[in-house]
Structure 1
């Protein structure tokens, strides 16, 4: 039904406005499809056999659709004009890419759940890791080469937990405007640093295995622990691999925030070294267990017991750290229950791995517990000493006041007949009593 304005003039429909808009641009020769209104956008006349393209940015702006995604210029809607001059699909337009942008601009229930898992886990891990690092740095009695390796592993996991916190915050707040993904360079930088922290933690686990293996077996590094080599393996090599991967990915993958990088073959620049480190660590662990079993059959010493505890912690952490960082390689991507299970499992292990490290390497370590217990006893003894000192000062002042009052009372009773040289003493509160008495007979007072 046509609508009319207040003067009784019929208002033009959007379809008619669309035809009038492109009336002067109508093609005069050849076969073409006429301008058409598809209930959302006005498409211009298009020659037969050609495709009409419009960016999603233009379409959303024309229809005043509020959206915060800043990568709309690379997404398009299109219509196809067939050889007969008819629009293919009638009035239907392919808005698939634009609809995906709308989907990206909002958080699904699964994404919100994953964001909460990452958010809570990263905060708990941060608290546990910072407490662990503080304990390792404060107690000098704990310092040893293996503790320094622990410290570097904890630092790598702290960086990783901070980035997980940053990544999950927009989902928890449910505000896409706060998402780092809206700024392409920032999103790629955060992704690269996160991958670097993940790879660094894997490499420091490799250093853990290397140090433990050298201590138990060949003792290659008898003189000094080669921390220059360890820093090269733990911090420098991951940086080289991540920079190489980022440079190659930037050239071959022209997508927002390198979306789909997990499907690219260049991801093996990162996963290859990770798998190599985990494989060598597994070989180290098997050989250490073999040697340890042989030693246990011969004798049981304190050193062997310590090594057993270290191996137990390392054996538990190897698969945990390996699985959490390599899970993206086995994403089922079936958009069903398997992918949901993958998302939740991956989020849990990645965000809570800092707690695993803190518990296994710090909170359940007997040496750490002994250091904390001794520190508590020292503080407790010092506090009791201060309390006892204050009590002695209080009672000393009380006894002094009592002595003064008593002397005044005696002076009044003796009518000032007490000699200034008289030896009158009061009993202290905590000293043995002396056999001195106050004069009770006036004849005794000179």
Structure 2
């Protein structure tokens, strides 16, 4: 029953006040007769987000909230729903409406507030809610404490669901721009309750409502289909165009596979443009192809499903053909008719069965929505017919040549598997890569003879002076040579003549504010005509660009510096931790040990030793610098004692001494100080060696799985001996025709038994 009556007051409040006393009494009698009907059992009620209600009240509540959910963001919305009463309220007309879709007057009143398409969507939502209620009542009630209960969430109908499970529902068509191929998601938690947000049960309808994402996915899919068509069409044309190709059986199978893929992509592209995209762009959802559910739309859906199944079936046919070639290389299939039958008729049969079921049981939305467990009908074709069967035939050949070849090949394969794959390559082990951390500490002092190097003001250099910067990740730098420019201060001086563009004869050649490429300062706009150089504002005096690195290097004594490399590693899979220190190391060991030919386990290394092990001369490299890699390798066999898991050091130079330009390694840094409140600095052009540390390696330990994989691979390789011997017997021996007759036997139907000499009637009956 539907009612329309005047109303004044707070619609969402506790009290309901009606203008007319008679209408007031009538309304109260009707309303409480609806909401206070008591049913003896819970099975007689339907559940929604508002709780349990009898079917009549559920119908009104759900229909009111269909309007609320569908048009909540509609501008100038005229009707509003409440979770207290099963009514719609029109504040402009001061009316309360009981939303009964079986009453045409009610329908006209509600639809007067929306357009025709929105009216159709609202009625479809109401019908879906009523169907959900009937579905809830017709399904036996499960244990409420063990499942998330069946419910209507305002847009979709959800069945009882087991805990810790997600369930999916095709997006309903009455949602704007919704597509059935998308799915809403609802989560049942471990305590047998639906996921809640803001205190209410919640369903994720975002996949149904993201219009831009839906359009993007359509265009991406359409682009992929077009690319596939552009690639497949010339491939098919080439196969058909050249007679030498199309005569081959495998090429004919390729043509059929490519043809099925081409037709599938054409069908998908047509579906995307004629159905899916039309659904996304048509404002009136009731007039879309999906909503119309016409014969043409269903035929296109049938064709799309059929060619999809055909492409998978032809993949199976290709695999079956290749299997026949591998299992019986000298007797390939002579006819492709069985493959043609299976490739085109099997998918047609499965698709036809699916279409009949959809037409009878779920004839809606052009069959684009999921049909539950019946989808397997076309996903896994189950009517594959095998028209003949091949079984191996064993022929004993008494030939010394063939026997020797067979055993020799078998011995070679066994030797390869056992000797190389299993023993040498440790194919019986499981491996794990090393994880590492490296720290370094340098020690050493060098004295600079200032009479030999008068431009260097510091005579004693310790670790705080020559290690710049003090800390680096997996690297360290040691100064071995330098050019010093002392007592620089901010001022005006001439530019270095080595700088391109610094020469001048007039001030116009030195534009104010310009910085020359590779210059030392900013041009002042003046030219020192005596020197023929532009004046700059910079740290003066500027560095002498013509100065060469001192030879011999000023800090050549750095060759005796030592570096302590502390490397901690682990193999997480085997829970093994190691470090590059001997297990029995003591303080005395570190005071006396030094890495070299007599001690490879000492982590203290002289810099000269590192450079020499890399194949370089320290004095030559120290002059202009370079880059050395220190590689620490941890290759451990954990089947042995962990104490035998020790590192191996390797050294190499990464740059080259043969470079003509930008040779070596150098950079500049400065030390600042003040004299009489004037700031000065000493500029250093530092040459040196950068040492980069890298840690590599892996550990292995016996594991039954890789061992069996290698053994199984070896057994499979033994079949190579049989293939080689078959080739020798069938193509190279004089009696090859005899061997062919003995090896292959053609059996065609029951009459073939007549060809078998010596077979009795009992054999025939088998």
Asked which structure has the greater RCO (Cα within 8 Å, sep 6+), the reply is 1
Task: Name the one with the larger strand percent.
Answer: 2
> Could you tell me the TM-score, scaled by structure 1's length?
0.45
- The structure with more helix, counted as a fraction of residues: 1
- For the pair shown, the structure with the greater C-alpha radius of gyration is 2
